[in-house]
Amino acid sequence: MVDPLDAYSQVVSSVAAELLPKVAGVRAGRNSGSAVVFTSDGFLLTNAHVVGSSRAGTVAFADGTVEEFAVVGRDPLSDLAVIRAQGPTPEPAALGDSDKLVVGQLVVAVGNPLGLAGSLTAGVVSGLGRSLPARAGSAVRMIEDVIQTDAALNPGNSGGALADSRARVVGVNTAVAGIGVGLAVPMNSTTRSIIAALIRDGRVRRAFLGLVTSPAPLPEPLRRRTGQAAALRVVEVVAGSPAERAGLRGGDLVLSAGRTPVGDAQSLQRLMFADAIGRPLPITVYRNGALVDVIAEPLELTV
């Protein structure tokens, strides 16, 4: 019988062998952190706060290779940035899907904490669905579905990989919330859309609706009627916003937007990208015992 510790060690060491060469140390001005190679033509993924306002910097790989990089695009509201090395890079890491994670699952963090190149720590997924505020100028947005882990993270881990047992990158390490509490931006369909926009345009265009919401369970009669278990309770409607002009009110339960059911903040936020700007967005809400349909036209978010 295989000793459990040996099996655990084998998994972690295999992830280390696969990912350590593909995670670089990043230096951009006075900032430092980590980045992970995710394409075969030199693109690396990191945190927006790692590159800051810099346009260029250097990446150092585990084999001692140092390359200059240029910042391709950054998005402070998701804390993601894409950079491109000016020379050869290792083969890319495989990107996973954070939506398939479960609490208690083994994860491995790879990065360069405290300037210690090629460091690895292991732990578990401690929590899912966390929220993390991100700011760009006057705009504040919640990064949804943030991954919480007890894998040790320290300054310098930011921008590094959080990987599953098959060395697939399921998150980008972004913050230390306390002892034993690390947070990572999830690798999911929304993240992939952001990465694609950064490569294509250098920035992410977002639509602005003007709602502050929180998830809320639906009453049983409405649940049976709609087939939904949850919706978004409107906490605040921003004055002068598209939502106010459409007639949305505090206390409304938003059931759907764009004819798509919404039950959490991410389900609404994933609609608020460039395609929604200036286009009619049908919204159905539950108000005073009745279903109410309105049409909003989101504006482009300016920061």
Q: What pLDDT, in 10s, does the model give residues 104-118?
A: 999 999 998 766 677
Please, which pLDDT band fits residue 228 given cuts at 50, 70 and 90?
Answer: very high
pLDDT value for 47: 96
41 classed as catalytic: no
From the candidates 32, 54, 79, 145, which is the catalytic residue?
79
pLDDT value for 288: 92
**Residue 15 CA from chain centroid, whole number:** 22
pLDDT value for 140: 63
pLDDT: is 202 or 154 the higher one?
A: 202
193 classed as catalytic: no
Task: Give SS3 for 21.
Answer: helix
From the candidates 34, 119, 158, 241, which is the catalytic residue?
158
Please name the amino acid found at residue 142: M
Per cent of the chain over pLDDT 90 is 66
Does the pLDDT of residue 273 top 60, yes or no? yes
Question: For 2-9, what is the mean pLDDT?
Answer: 73
Please, which pLDDT band fits residue 264 given cuts at 50, 70 and 90?
Answer: confident
| Calpha distance 50→218 (Å, rounded) | 41
pTM for the whole thing? Answer: 0.81
Please name the amino acid found at residue 58: T
pLDDT value for 117: 73
Please, which pLDDT band fits residue 303 given cuts at 50, 70 and 90?
Answer: low
Residue pair 217/229 in contact by the 8 Å Cβ criterion = yes
Please, which pLDDT band fits residue 130 given cuts at 50, 70 and 90?
Answer: confident
Mean model confidence pLDDT for the chain: 89
Residues 6+ away with beta carbon under 8 Å from 40? 91, 92
User: Where do the H-state alpha helices sit in the chain?
Assistant: 4-19, 48-51, 189-201, 220-226, 242-245, 265-269
Does the pLDDT of residue 181 top 90, yes or no? no
Question: For 166-194, what is the mean pLDDT?
Answer: 88
32 classed as catalytic: no
Please, which pLDDT band fits residue 5 given cuts at 50, 70 and 90?
Answer: low
Please, which pLDDT band fits residue 19 given cuts at 50, 70 and 90?
Answer: very high
For 303, what's the count of Cα atoms within 13 Å in the CB-facing half-sphere?
15
pLDDT value for 56: 97
| Calpha distance 44→141 (Å, rounded) | 24
From the candidates 49, 75, 78, 145, which is the catalytic residue?
49
Please, which pLDDT band fits residue 70 given cuts at 50, 70 and 90?
Answer: very high
Question: For 134-139, what is the mean pLDDT?
Answer: 65
C-alpha distances out from residue 172 to 33, 37, 157, 235, Å: 12, 12, 9, 30
pLDDT value for 301: 84
